[in-house]
Homo-oligomer: A and B are copies of this chain.
Amino acid sequence: MAATISGILTPHMVPLDAHDRIHEAELRRYVDWLIARGVHGLYPNGSTGEFIRFTADERRQIVRIVCEQAAGRVPVLAGAAEANVRETLAACEAYAQYGARAVAIVSPYYYRLGPESVYAYFREIALASPIDVTLYNIPMFASPIDVPTIQRLAELDRIVGIKDSSGDVAFMMRLMAAVRPARPDFSFLTGWEAVLVPMLLIGVDGGTHATSGVVPELTRRMFDLARARELDLAVSLQYRLLELFDAMLGAAEFPEGFRAAVELRGFAMGRGRQPLSAAQQSHRERLQKILRCLMADFGYVDPPPEGCPLRRPDPATPHVDTMADAVVEALRQQGVL
């Protein structure tokens, strides 16, 4: 049985206009652009989408726009966490009507709840939700969801998958080993693109990656290569993705570096909702120059007039003497190098 949800789903950012409002036209254009570049799905109201910096009304508006614009071309996994179970269920109902494929619900945050409470929370939602639910585990920001709790929650039909942003490859293996025997349809999505290819190697169904909102061509290609078991080439791209990812993480604060990067792809993102200091603003501008070079290496954007430094050799493969040349040649033929 295939996983319910698979592939690369983009937790997209939200363009803002000059009045700090959702820039609907730009958001629609962004959705079209992402779909055209091969993302398998869209994920509004994720952490990258700064769900917590929008009001409840704005979060609904975002999902409505995205569902309308996607228009069934790709599935929408809508972030639906609200202030409490009742409000969350109301959002679930709205998103079901908008046509979302499923909702993603982050574990309770602010308070750090224990496993028993995390279970009780998701259970109450799952029993009443009119739409499929995926769990969202992001222990650096929200109450962790441990393996036994996920195993218990997977007994509920409405819960069809988990997005895990821990980046812990062994944790994901433990999770799949615990859940898949009883739920072969359960979706395992990683949220940590720094290890996307290793995660695909060990068998996850896909990922929801901030980076896929910036270089959707690249994450899609890595997914396809991994599925086709062209792992050496996929690993080479993983190293380059990591370099880009780390550069974007190095901005003032997440996800500002990703907003700075997507501007280079031609979208007007507006001033972010978390204020930047003058020093941070200045750093953001320097960062954009680095990001431009990293993305120009792939051919996604034009290099800056002043040019870029030469790339370093590929770190993954110096010891694989018999293989290195072939990999480089393959990369060249495919226009990656």
A-side residues, CB < 8 A to B, are 1-3, 6, 20, 47, 52-56, 82-87, 108-114, 116-117, 119-121, 123-124, 140-142, 167-170, 173-174, 176-178, 180-181, 184, 192, 194-195, 197-198, 201-203, 205, 229, 231-232, 235, 238-239, 242-243, 246, 252-254, 273-277, 279-280, 312-313, 315-321
Contacts and interface: CB of A to CB of B under 8 A. Distances in A.
Specify how many copies of this chain sit in the oligomer. Answer: 4
A176 B114 CA distance: 28
A116 B170 contact: no
Contacts of A231: 201, 229, 231
B141 A169 contact: no
Contacts of A203: 235, 315-320
- The majority secondary structure among interface residues of chain A is loop
Nearest to A19: B86
Contacts of A312: 177, 181
Contacts of A140: 112
B116 A280 contact: yes
A87 B273 CA distance: 11
Contacts of A84: 53-54, 273-274
Contacts of A201: 197-198, 201, 231, 235
Contact of A109 (B85, B110, B246, B253): B110
Nearest to A140: B112
Given A116-B252, A117-B253, A232-B229, A275 B177 contact: no
Contact of A120 (B6, B176, B239, B276): B276
A192 B47 CA distance: 30
Contacts of A180: 313, 315, 318
Contact of A274 (B54, B117, B274): B117
Contact of A123 (B275, B315, B320): B275
A47 to B, nearest CB: 8
9 contacts: A53-B83, A55-B82, A55-B87, A109-B109, A114-B253, A170-B192, A195-B198, A202-B316, A229-B231
Contact of A52 (B53, B83, B242): B83
A192 B54 CA distance: 31
A20 B235 CA distance: 48
A11 to B, nearest CB: 14
A197 B267 CA distance: 40
Contacts of A167: 168, 170
A111 B232 CA distance: 34
Nearest to A199: B198
B319 A6 contact: yes
Contacts of A243: 177
A194 B277 CA distance: 34
A246 B171 CA distance: 11
Nearest to A171: B194
Given A87-B55, A239-B173, A277 B109 contact: no
A294 to B, nearest CB: 13
